[in-house]
Amino acid sequence: MTQPNYKEQFPAAFPKLSPTQMREIAKIAKCRTYLDGTVLFKAGETEFKFHVIQKGEIEIIDRSDYKPRTILTHGPLEFTGDIANLSGRTSHVDAVAKGTVEVYEICSSELKMIISERPELSETILKAFIARGMALSETGFTGLRVIGSQYSVDTFRIRDFLSKNGVLFTWTDVDHDVHAKELLEQFHITISETPIVAYSTEWLLKNPSNMQLAEKIGLKHEFTDTLYDLVIAGGGPAGLAAAVYGASEGLKTMVLEKMAPGGQAGTSSRIENYLGFPTGVSGSELAARATMQAEKFGAQLSIPSQITSLSFEHNLNIIELESGEKIKAKAVLIASGAAYRKLNVPELEQYEGRGVYYAATKMEADICATDPVTVVGAGNSAGQAAIFLANRVRKVYLIVRGAELAITMSKYLEQRILESDNIELHFHTEITKIVGDGHVEGVTIFNKETNTTEELQVSAVFSFIGAMPHTSWLPAEIEKDEKGFIKTGADAARSSMWKEQRAPYFLETTRPGIFAAGDVRSNSVKRVASAVGEGSMAVQFIHEHLKVV
């Protein structure tokens, strides 16, 4: 793609600052001069500078696909950078002075101050950052290379982790891609050494853990503060909402997320009943925008951060991570959500990541190609998945244990499913067996009403049944209901665990200063909007608690 077409195709990604905006920038940053060929930042660097061009040009160069190529040139009144400037992730590209260039050079903390305190500049910069993320993915950008088999659990894990965190990458399937052998030779590796993750020829990781990968690409951050006002366990809608409101109101806020921002909602192909999005919004887009909002106000996100325990030291809460790191907090919000229950079928584990999935995104759909698939469940998540997949595969078998959809699924989803030509409904039915040689090739279903079995040839099973709360790491002081969900408010007040003279706040648990919001909370409404509302509301109660700490 030529440079003029690149800018013409994505105009929102490359705005020019107005004279007024340039004067605002000049009040904050000093103008520096760089000579031709000077590298202002390189791909792989974190904490790289944000540059506003006064005179001259800066080339943006992609080196991810062996041969460097200039993908665009920034001119006067334009600026470099993307969301990585706020999040601390590594840069995707190089920025090189083309001729002598004069720029205002701004560090990450100064950029966050601009975005927080100067609304007009903030709107221009953030809109451009959002547009640049979408533009780069549509320009043949290679990004990281993931090479491995589609039937490998670790290949799926790596792709899933990168995809959910919005990291641009290109996957090469060693089983079917005609260029796979050539790539393996270039990297001097064998199929047995896959999966690998690489950036051009600069670095290569063999089957990295999520933690190793996160550290390499700037997702995992060191904990620089010894004490936080608020630590949020979980980065789903409730956790991100609390992070936005907490950080914007001056609380030193940390979000600990074990996988990726968005939680279950982040894997939804399209949410159409969320207020303010009449045409719908994908879960990944909603999560990305919420994450940007939280980081804009100074909230810190650490991914992956698996919490193993919560303990107490006087009035402080001590959170310990799987890595051995410990974080102290004056208040904690538990927003760790819930996971879909697993199917009760023999040898399920051997098919997880090899045809059994708990999310239906473009990544899983691409693995299935056009093969028939099954979706199990009768809630909104199952309905959204069935409709999304029906537009991509030959046939979707929707397996429903009950007699109808209306009880558990929104009407608009039920109607679309009933009108679809390639969604076949099976009521009163359960999957009793999965068959395949290393990956899913079919399932056996049993109809309880007719007492009959049937074999379906499918390449994937998408499971969306029930919910199991992520609460196993909690101490006895945090009381749960019989299903493992956290008691709060009036339920907490009735518990023998509650020792205070005052009544617990609406979202407060049986331990003062520990709050819960979203799907993890007992009797919560399992909807994105409800989770966002609870996360936002929790911050008000947290302020009340902090007054007496």
Q: Determine contact, residues 251/542, Cβ cutoff 8 Å.
A: yes
User: First-to-last CA distance in the chain?
Assistant: 58
* Residue-averaged pLDDT of the chain: 94
How many CB atoms within 10 Å of residue 369? 12
Is 360 strand, coil or helix? coil
What is the structure's pLDDT at 405?
A: 95
| pLDDT above 60: residue 410 | yes
The stretch 359-366 carries a mean pLDDT of: 92
Kind of pairing between the strands at 423-426 and 429-435: unpaired
DSSP of 260-279: -TTTTGGG-S-B-SSTT-TT
C-alpha span between 545 and 535 (Å, rounded): 15
Instruction: Give this prediction's pTM.
Output: 0.93
Residues in the chain: 549
C-alpha span between 497 and 337 (Å, rounded): 23
What is the structure's pLDDT at 3?
A: 45
Domain boundaries of the chain, sorted by first residue:
3-136, 144-217, 227-337+479-546, 341-466
Instruction: For 150-199, write each residue's pLDDT tens digit.
Output: 999 999 999 999 999 999 999 999 999 999 999 999 999 999 999 999 99
| pLDDT above 50: residue 394 | yes
Helices 108-117 and 119-136: crossing angle, nearest 10°?
Answer: 120
The stretch 266-288 carries a mean pLDDT of: 90
Q: C-alpha distances in angstroms, 383 versus 270, 278, 406, 412, 417?
A: 11, 18, 11, 10, 7
Instruction: Look up residue 36 and give its two tokens.
Output: 């031709």
Q: Domain 341-466 falls in which CATH fold?
A: FAD/NAD(P)-binding domain (3.50.50)
What is the structure's pLDDT at 2?
A: 44
C-alpha span between 279 and 367 (Å, rounded): 27
CATH assignment of 144-217? 3.40.30.10
Strands (DSSP E) found in 234-325? 253-256, 300-302, 307-313, 316-321
Domains 3-136 and 227-337+479-546 belong to one CATH topology = no
The stretch 101-127 carries a mean pLDDT of: 94
CATH number belonging to the domain at 3-136, selected among 3.40.190.10, 2.60.120.10, 1.10.3720.10, 3.30.70.270: 2.60.120.10
CA 213-217-223 angle, 5° bins: 90
HSE (side-chain half, CA atoms, 13 Å) at 294: 32
Q: C-alpha distances in angstroms, 538 versus 202, 286, 307, 541?
A: 45, 20, 20, 5
In sequence order, the 6+-apart residues with CB closer than 8 A to the CB of 260 are 161, 164, 165, 235, 266, 287, 303
Instruction: Look up residue 29 and give its two tokens.
Output: 């940053």
| pLDDT above 80: residue 458 | yes
Instruction: Look up residue 414 and give its two tokens.
Output: 């039920």
Return the biggest CA–CA distance within the chain: 79
C-alpha span between 153 and 177 (Å, rounded): 18
| pLDDT above 60: residue 4 | no
CATH assignment of 227-337+479-546? 3.50.50.60
Candidates 150, 148, 144; CA nearest to 198 is 144
What is the structure's pLDDT at 5?
A: 61
CA 38 to chain centre: 35
